Amino acid sequence: MGLAEDLKALQELRDKGELSESAYAAARDAAIGKQSQGQIQPSAQPTQAKKPLVGTPVKVIVALVVLYAGANIIYRISQTPPNQSSSSAFFHTPLTITDEIENVPAASWKALNYNFPSGGKLDITVRVVNGNPIDVFLTPADQIDAMNKREWGSVKTYGDFNATKTREYHRTSQMGPGSYYLVLRDTSLGVLSAHASDVSVKTVLTP
């Protein structure tokens, strides 16, 4: 029913004596209040469109920059020779294997073991700081038994690194991967010579 019909029905009940004046007033106010609430509509909140953080032109520029950078990287990779890697500079940097003073007693020898996982240019510098001139040679690691037996005549050596009775020594040659011994040998008896020699040894490998 509408508000008018509700009020009319309430008035008829009051006229018949079925509603007291106070009950009629309360019912009338309730009906009017109910009708008013039904007519009030919540105001619609305007929806505020969210603005994008980055505009379309900026997005296009960023995409072009990324595409250009990617194409440039792919081009550089395609121009790199197959046998050249990004770490080639590192692997072609000289690597110092030994740089120290060795003490070699008279009538004795000392072997310095080198293990090279890859080949390269081997550069060896030997200098007698004080003491006797020495023999120097480079030999494969499998010759250690012959050296321990002092069978020097049968020891296989690399001719590029051989020197006899020297105080200043510098040799360079290309070597393959493997295990080697650099031998420092003092053949003096120590009677009319020094009892020991201090020998500076510097070994550098350039892959």
pLDDT in tens, 127-175: 999 999 999 999 999 999 999 999 999 999 999 999 999 999 999 999 9
What is the domain partition of the chain in residue ranges? 3-38, 90-206
Q: What secondary structure letter does DSSP report for 184?
A: E
Q: Hey, which bits of 66-133 come out as E strands? A: 95-105, 108-116, 120-130
Residue 200 in contact with residue 104, Cβ under 8 Å? Answer: no
Structure tokens at 96: 């110092």
pLDDT band at 41 (very low <50, low <70, confident <90, very high): very low
Nearest partner of 97 among 114, 109, 81, 117, judged by Cα = 114
Query: Which architecture does CATH list for 90-206?
Result: Sandwich (2.60)
pTM exceeds cut of 0.85: no
DSSP track, 134-156: EEEEEEEGGGHHHHHTT-GGG--
